[in-house]
Amino acid sequence: PVGAMLAADKIASAFTPGAHASTFGGNPLAMAAALATLETILKTGILENCRRMGVYFLKKLEEIKGRHPAITAVRGRGLMVALELGHPGEEIVNRCLKRGLLINCTNGNILRFLPPLITVREDIDRAVEIF
């Protein structure tokens, strides 16, 4: 596990050395894993894939929204996308799970889709088909 915190000087000045630490933070193995992860992200263009697939996913969900007035909003950034419903969404979550699509419901009526960062169009098309 690796974590980082950014803060304005005014906030950061409240922390003194050792006041915010952990027993596992910054160990050599965690740092090597973090470095390898960052190098992979930069080499593979995965962030650009997230942007492109996120735009595609939002477009597909907007199409669904146009056919279903119970969907009150579509929103997202990258591959973190969501539908807001005018009614509770738990039943939809359960139906999707039975059909092979794992989504979750927050705030009672917001359906979240959080696909892997390596998602391709076919994955999104399949998710939309199941939904």
Residue type, 37: T
pLDDT of 6 > 90? The answer is no
Distance CA 119, CA 39 (A): 19
Distance CA 23, CA 4 (A): 14
pLDDT of 23 > 70? The answer is no
Distance CA 60, CA 26 (A): 41
In a 13 Å sphere around the CA of 18, the CA atoms on its Cβ side amount to 0
Whether the Cβ atoms of residue 27 and residue 3 lie closer than 8 Å to each other:
no
> Can you give the pLDDT at residue 92?
92
Dump pLDDT digits (tens) for 39-70. Answer: 999 999 899 999 999 999 999 999 999 999 99
Q: Which domains does the chain have, with CATH numbers?
A: 9-44 (no CATH), 46-130 (3.90.1150.10)
> Can you give the pLDDT at residue 125?
95
pLDDT of 25 > 90? The answer is no
Q: What percent of the chain has pLDDT over 70?
A: 92
> Can you give the pLDDT at residue 13?
86
pLDDT band at 24 (very low <50, low <70, confident <90, very high): low
Distance CA 89, CA 86 (A): 9
Model pTM? 0.75
Distance CA 125, CA 76 (A): 17
* Mean local confidence (pLDDT), 19-41: 81
What tokens appear for 94 in the block?
A: 């359960």
Distance CA 127, CA 100 (A): 9
Distance CA 13, CA 7 (A): 9
Q: When comparing pLDDT for 27 and 82, which is higher?
A: 82
